[in-house]
Amino acid sequence: MLISLTRKKFEELIPRVATGEQYKYTWGKLPDFLRRLLISIVGLVVALLMNVVLGEDLWALTFTVGITAGFYWLWSPVYWASLKNFECRRYPYSGFWRGKVLDVFVTEELIGKEETVNKMGELVIVENRERRLNLEVGDEAGFVTELQVPLKRDHRIIRSGDMAEMLVMSNLADLSRIGKVSDIYFPNYNLWVSAYPYLRRDIFVEVSKQMRQPKGGRPRRSRNERRFRDEGFSDDWG
């Protein structure tokens, strides 16, 4: 199932400025914070050197540079998360997609290598591996996409055939070619699977409920969905 969304609803689902959940995700772990803090300290030193070299004539410039650099550790997660939102918002058209899990499996991926010394004084390369959940979802129209994310305990309930929902984005009004997809939502488990929290999840859940329990008749179908129906695909709403 594929239903076109208005631009207004799309911008509610993916706001211009980073959400709290996106900020938390982009904040990262302790090493990420320490790296941002180091950049802030270096920026402050540069601003002080500029003040010494340029003197008081350009104090406004050096003050601005100092403030901006000094708080880089705080505002940069908002900036980087907002850039991710912009990558989605540049698509002019979007739609609510519902399909099912075609395949689900776990792999172990190499995420990095570290050099260390063992007890014998020999240099040893240690491989850091991480278990990943691999999802393949699709619909009766032939659309298929894959997602790989770090494995979590909650993922163990996902099975082939489970209903899956997400936001799809396109440069074409009929959504016949999908350029980007969002987080995947499993309404039967109230579970989200994503590498990054693109959506305002509370709003998407409301959209999902409206699609599953339409009032006063079924929602207006997009041109793309009508095409799927005319080509003989099932008219099942899940």
Query: For residue 63, which phi and psi values (nearest 5 degrees)?
Result: -65, -45
In a domain, 73, yes or no: yes
In a domain, 159, yes or no: yes
56 and 97 housed in the same domain:
no
The token duo for 9 is 């609803």
* Number of domains observed in the structure of the chain: 2
37 and 81 housed in the same domain:
yes
In a domain, 84, yes or no: yes
96 and 214 housed in the same domain:
yes
Cα–Cα distance measured from residue 211 to residue 3, given in angstroms and rounded to the nearest whole number:
9
In a domain, 11, yes or no: no
Which of 89, 113, 131 is the last residue in one of the domains?
89
Cα–Cα distance measured from residue 130 to residue 150, given in angstroms and rounded to the nearest whole number:
7
Over its length of 238 residues, how does the chain's per-residue pLDDT go in tens digits? Answer: 899 999 999 999 999 999 889 999 999 889 899 999 999 999 999 888 888 887 777 788 888 888 999 999 999 999 999 999 999 999 999 999 999 999 999 998 877 777 777 777 777 777 788 899 999 999 998 999 999 999 999 999 999 999 999 999 999 999 999 999 999 999 999 999 998 999 999 999 999 998 877 555 444 444 444 433 333 323 333 3
Segment (H or E) for 124: strand 123-138
In a domain, 138, yes or no: yes
The DSSP line for 71-83 is THHHHHHHHHHHH
- Name the maximum alpha-carbon separation found in the chain: 76
200 and 117 housed in the same domain:
yes
Cα–Cα distance measured from residue 60 to residue 157, given in angstroms and rounded to the nearest whole number:
57
pLDDT (0 to 100) of residue 236:
36
CB 91 within 8 A of CB 83: no
144 and 214 housed in the same domain:
yes
The token duo for 111 is 């995420």
Cα–Cα distance measured from residue 85 to residue 167, given in angstroms and rounded to the nearest whole number:
13
Q: pTM for this one?
A: 0.76
221 and 111 housed in the same domain:
yes
45 and 162 housed in the same domain:
no
160 and 123 housed in the same domain:
yes
CB 174 within 8 A of CB 227: yes
pLDDT (0 to 100) of residue 214:
54
146 and 208 housed in the same domain:
yes
153 and 221 housed in the same domain:
yes
Which of 53, 74, 89 is the last residue in one of the domains?
89
In a domain, 6, yes or no: no
In a domain, 114, yes or no: yes
33 and 118 housed in the same domain:
no
The whole domain housing 135 covers 92-230
In a domain, 85, yes or no: yes
63 and 111 housed in the same domain:
no
pLDDT (0 to 100) of residue 215:
54
